[in-house]
Structure 1
Amino acid sequence: MTSQRPRPAVPLRPETLPRSAPAAVGVSSRAVLALLDRLAGDSVECHSLMVVRRGHVVAEGWWAPFTAQRPHLLYSLTKSFTAIAVGLAIEDGLLSLDDRIVDVLPDHVPDDVSDQGRRLTVHHLLSMTTGHDTDSLAEAWELEPRDLTRGFLRVPFPHREGTRHAYDNATTYVLARMVERATGSGLPELLAERLFTPMGITEAEWDRVGDGAAFGFHGLHLTTEAVAAFGELLLRRGRWGDRRLVPPSWVEVATGRRVATHQVDGWSDNPDTRCGYGYQFWMSRHGYRGEGSFGQLCAVVPSHDLVVVATSALSGGGETLLEPIWECLLPGLDRPDDAADDAQLADRLRGLALARPSGTLGPRHPTGARVVASAAGPALPDGTPVTVDPAERGWLVRFTASPGVHVDIEVGHDDWRESEPLGRPVVAAGAWQGDVFVADLYVITTPHRLRTVVDTRTGAASVTWNVVPLTGPDLLRHLQSPLMTRPDVA
């Protein structure tokens, strides 16, 4: 049995960014409190928040069981890091904006590639103006399960290149492969050497496709502070202390508006969505941002010397967080409060926590049920056996995925308990509510949580995601580290 308190996933290390009281750098503590109240009032499931002004962290908080030392899946915020890797390859003279896919990756070009496919360049990929109408990822993988670049070039182009933006994950995958071919280094290794290590970031983790390559368009896990440091690096135009890590000209080009954007079907209707797109960065009403699904956000506001980072589990994207930031936080800049207000904010931030299931320790004998899977993306197949065995101040929940294949997850009562059933940490708490056992299982390095309900009256269990992972609902896949999202890619 592990300790009831979650253990850090990585060793503690010196803080990357300096700290300051909010008032010392002109930030209103009441404004930050208003932001926290707004997020709570909007029922936003936040996992972390960090506000950086004039290079100093003035507010930081993690909603337990999430912690400062724990990397968090960034989803498409990963794209902004890939864009910086492209800039490094360009700085080294190994790649250019005009280089074509067919020239850099000739062995991934289909024999029947279209004339437009032959013309596509690094610029078109970075700005997502290749001519596709919508995200080509699913169709590209269906056409070429073992070669996404080849599949991308086979998806029809209804628009001429350079004329229209369409959010397209496959463009960033192809960019990552071009960077790797040009530099002779893997994307994670290149960014570790040129960016993360000089910045003191040691905990970067990458999810990968089946052949071991990093996605490029998603899959990077970083701590909140590491993402905030990345925002500061951009704000300082590529400088970190006395070192220039990224060419200032590239930061300016990548984070500037390169193409107009339009409302995307299925996305939240937000003015920031329509502010334009740079090179794997979104423009905002104030500054620019890197953004990932379910509320992974790095907002950079140069006019206010401000960086705001959040990790979340929203049903939509990070643009949902922008309105509260603009309306609550920005009016409080250059209007500092007194020391008592700063202390009140510090107390609030220290006490942030997600609610644990309430109830009792209940019966102290094993209980069993079978999953009744919902029609929409079940985490476990219909009929999967679930058992709840009492343990010291908690339980051991077992999912029998197949004969002889068991997934055991430790669940605490009135506290969070951590286990690693298949390599990726899960932090869980639960309780009995009459004849029903309820547990929340956080796949803690991601935005995703499983609510497990076992009803002893009916013998039925449900295992459902708070937000279904974009890489599919299969629980077993998401408990593995590193995540191999496409098992059909050899």
Structure 2
Amino acid sequence: MTSTSPHPRPTSFPPLERRAPEAVGIPAAALAALADRLQEEGLDPHALLVARGGVVAFETAWAPYRLEQPALVYSVSKTYTSLAIGFLVDEGRLGLDDSVGDLLGLPNPHGITVRHLLTMNTGHSPEQIERYGFSPAGLLATAPERAPGTRFAYNSPATYALSAIIARLAGEQLTAYLRPRLLEPLGIGDRWMSSVDGIETGASGFHLTVDDIARTAIMLGAGGVFGGAQVAPRAYVDEMSRVWSDTAEFDGPAAAEDEVNDWSLGYGYQMWRSRHGYRLDGAAGQFGLIIPESDLVIAYHGATLDTQATLRAFWAFVDAVAVADAATVDAEAAPTSKIPVPTALHVSHDTWDSRADLGILRQAPFDADGLTLTDTADGWTLDLPGVGELKVGGSWTETEVEFEADAGAAAAGKQAGTSGSVVDAAGIADPACSSHAAPTRLVLATRGERRDDGSVLIHIVDTTSPHRAIVHRAADSGAGAVDAGWHIPPLGGGWEILRVPASVLTSERADTARPESAAPAGNPGDPAGNAAAPAETTAAALLLDMDGTLVDSHEVVERLWRQWSEGHGIDPARTLSIIHGRQGQDSMALLLPDRPHEVNLAENRELLAAETAQTDGVVAIPGAAALLAALRGLPHALVTSASLALAQARMDAAGLPVPSLAITAEDVTRSKPDPEGFLAAARALGVDPASCIVVEDSPNGIAAGLAAGMRVIGIGPHAAGTGATWVVPDASGIRVASAEPGIAVTIGA
């Protein structure tokens, strides 16, 4: 049995529909003006997606940020915690007026309820909240200054207490509980949320793309419906955006004189009311805006302390759409009634273009002790305290910095204000959720320039968060003397709290190739378009995997395996995490270790027959046809875990020729990650395995190629971090030509 690589997005729903702006009644000029305004006002925009009627009309990212890169969204996380509470209510497992103490097994002398937590109306003052921090026991024990339900105060520890309730009642972490109920139905891929004392914070720490936020906002705006199905409980969704707390006196982001302050319009169940509609809202400018009156959704990542200015730009855009609607010739025509154009407006920007407007926040602490900047032949070497040595050039260069598990790495899962925990009292800590014992990493992009006056400017961007550091060296300061600081500082610490678990897929990007001499796998090119230099090498033969490498068959594979899992009482997510690249009977043996092998073989034959018969939606991976055409007459082979019949069916469906040598399931006794298939292909071609290059997409296949002693070109978003020699987005990143002896191979741009 064969499968495509683990897909970054569950396949319950396809990608959001995309149309040109005018097809959904949005003037393209208004979108361009919005993007320009965000940049020109120095608001440091990172990613933006605009949808109308559930259809994406515009999307853009500012390099080095990418639309497909999940990034820290701070308090946008709170809305997902609220939705988890809504599911528990819908399942009859709690009521909003239940005692928090009863739910957590803690004393609750002041009668604080779930509703008080949801609405941030526990009665505590900001000073009290700061003192008890992320401790549900401390929250319940602290006598509030006012009666619960009578005073709003922004209260992240209250949201953390909600996450603790979810973990206790559900027996699993917040995001695990949401995975089958919300995240998979919305088509949101694997994501990570930071934890405190083994419990996901709920209040912050979720890492999402703007597409993830847009899907959630579209669902909320439709009363919990997405893709024609009721995803979230309608009654709870309807209540989430109501004004449950008066925020008129909230000391939030400042508004201009005589301007309506968007933080004074009321608070619902972990959502803010807005001048238009309501919103998911995270620190420094992470937004999901739901605007029912115009059927608009805006999803956004950015980094500014002037978040009211960001909303001001959005409201100007909303007003422009309203003006366009009013000017429609046929007043009865819906905005989506025009002839559709198939693609959304998708443009690229670069944060580097705004560097003159992005300065250092002087009052924010920054560890610059020991920081040095050294000139090199092609740029600079930056030794950054808490991070290490980084290479800097004249275009964006992304580097993944790995950190071993140690006490310092524990801070990656922490938030400011931790004091005590519900863990000891309630016994619900989940060590697997904590990053304390796991290796971590930073994903950093660097860029620099030498200015006309001889000074040097360097930006270091953490692409999994809103944050960047800026380094400036004056012309006459010498090699080591620099000025450095945060543009917008992380909440609660420095580089250490921005680390993400090394085991977590934080990027769904399509990496460009890395040279063979590069140390870390997956050295991507510049997202602004300045790609890394292509790698050139030779090979005795190319050995190509099929699913995920040449053909995309994930919809069929995952549908059938989900059905198989459900029939055997196995979590489909667990099944999908191990099947890719393996033969079916081997996957079954891992999932049902006590079952006779004969049963696995029989069931796998049934699955193979179903897969062979179902080829609708099987298409060629970009560049696959051109690569196979260029390989005609050159030594190459197909090496797949599929049967010969299945391989032929899928290649035919994708319009691709099957190479004259195909090593299929019938030719091996052990499937990937065992190297048997690749070694068999090299033997059949009569070439040295060490001179071969494998082209693979799945971690199992890449491991098999490396175990065979071969170099590996990893294809697609899941090849990064697997140890592949090079990583490219798809087969179009590989070019071949005849060489003596063998094949000349160019990898990358």
TM range (shorter): 0.7 to 0.9
Alignment match, 2:178: 191
Distance in 2, matches of 1:76 and 1:96, equals 24
User: Is 1:311 aligned to 2:301, yes or no?
Assistant: yes
RMSD: 2.9
Q: How does 1:413-432 map to 2 (within 5 A)?
A: 413-422=394-403, 423-432=441-450
Q: How far has the Cα of 1:400 moved from its partner?
A: 4.9
Distance in 1, matches of 2:461 and 2:128, equals 31
Which one of 455, 474, 486 corresponds to residue 465 of structure 1?
486
- CA contact under 8 A between 2:367 and 2:385: conserved in structure 1? no
Which one of 137, 140, 159 corresponds to residue 132 of structure 2?
140
Q: Which stretch of structure 1 is more off in the superposition, 240-249 or 86-95?
A: 240-249
Alignment match, 1:74: 73
Which one of 310, 321, 330 corresponds to residue 332 of structure 1?
321
Alignment match, 1:260: 246
Q: How does 1:6-45 map to 2 (within 5 A)?
A: 16-45=15-44
User: Is 1:476 aligned to 2:457, yes or no?
Assistant: no
- CA contact under 8 A between 1:268 and 1:316: conserved in structure 2? yes
Q: How far has the Cα of 1:167 moved from its partner?
A: 1.2
User: Is 1:124 aligned to 2:130, yes or no?
Assistant: no
Q: Which stretch of structure 1 is more off in the superposition, 408-417 or 249-258?
A: 408-417
Q: Which stretch of structure 1 is more off in the superposition, 89-98 or 349-358?
A: 349-358
Distance in 1, matches of 2:9 and 2:66, equals 11
Q: How does 1:28-427 map to 2 (within 5 A)?
A: 28-107=27-106, 109=107, 115-116=109-110, 119-134=111-126, 136-141=128-133, 148-209=135-196, 211-265=197-251, 267-269=253-255, 270-317=260-307, 319-333=308-322, 334=325, 346=345, 349-355=346-352, 376-380=363-367, 383-388=369-374, 390=376, 393-401=378-386, 407-422=388-403, 423-427=441-445
Question: What amino acid maps onto 2:465 in structure 1?
Answer: T
Distance in 1, matches of 2:348 and 2:253, equals 32
Identity percentage of aligned residues = 29
- CA contact under 8 A between 1:411 and 1:418: conserved in structure 2? no
Higher relative contact order (CA 8 A, sep 6+): 1
Cα deviation digits, residues 283-302 of structure 1 (max 9, x gap): 11211111011010111011
Alignment match, 2:709: none
Cα deviation digits, residues 413-433 of structure 1 (max 9, x gap): 133333325412001101233
Higher-Rg member (1/2): 2
Q: How far has the Cα of 1:98 moved from its partner?
A: 1.3
Alignment match, 2:521: none
Q: How far has the Cα of 1:398 moved from its partner?
A: 1.8
- CA contact under 8 A between 2:382 and 2:389: conserved in structure 1? yes
Q: How far has the Cα of 1:263 moved from its partner?
A: 3.7
Alignment CA distance shift 1:216-1:315 (3 Å): same
Q: How far has the Cα of 1:332 moved from its partner?
A: 2.0
Q: How far has the Cα of 1:22 moved from its partner?
A: 1.0
Alignment CA distance shift 1:43-1:54 (3 Å): same
Cα deviation digits, residues 365-384 of structure 1 (max 9, x gap): xxxxxxxx998343215x32
Which one of 427, 451, 457 corresponds to residue 438 of structure 1?
457
How high is the TM-score relative to the length of structure 1?
A: 0.81
Alignment CA distance shift 1:74-1:281 (3 Å): same
Cα deviation digits, residues 129-183 of structure 1 (max 9, x gap): 1101226543113xxxxx6112222444111111121111111010111111111
- CA contact under 8 A between 1:16 and 1:225: conserved in structure 2? no
Question: What amino acid maps onto 2:153 in structure 1?
Answer: A
Distance in 2, matches of 1:34 and 1:95, equals 47
Distance in 1, matches of 2:250 and 2:467, equals 24
Alignment CA distance shift 1:34-1:477 (3 Å): closer
Instruction: For structure 1, list consecutive stretches of 5 or more residues without a partner in the other structure.
Output: 1-9, 142-146, 360-372, 484-490
Distance in 1, matches of 2:39 and 2:472, equals 25
Aligned residues: 435
Q: How far has the Cα of 1:48 moved from its partner?
A: 1.1
Instruction: For structure 2, list consecutive stretches of 5 or more residues without a partner in the other structure.
Output: 1-6, 329-334, 404-440, 504-749
Cα deviation digits, residues 337-374 of structure 1 (max 9, x gap): 9x9xx99x94xx52311116999xxxxxxxxxxxxx99
Distance in 2, matches of 1:264 and 1:460, equals 43
Distance in 2, matches of 1:445 and 1:73, equals 6
Alignment match, 2:602: none
Q: How far has the Cα of 1:191 moved from its partner?
A: 1.5
Distance in 2, matches of 1:275 and 1:129, equals 15
- CA contact under 8 A between 2:473 and 2:482: conserved in structure 1? yes
Distance in 2, matches of 1:419 and 1:105, equals 39
Q: How far has the Cα of 1:71 moved from its partner?
A: 0.5
- CA contact under 8 A between 2:254 and 2:261: conserved in structure 1? no
Question: What amino acid maps onto 2:215 in structure 1?
Answer: A
Q: Which stretch of structure 1 is more off in the superposition, 193-202 or 44-53?
A: 193-202
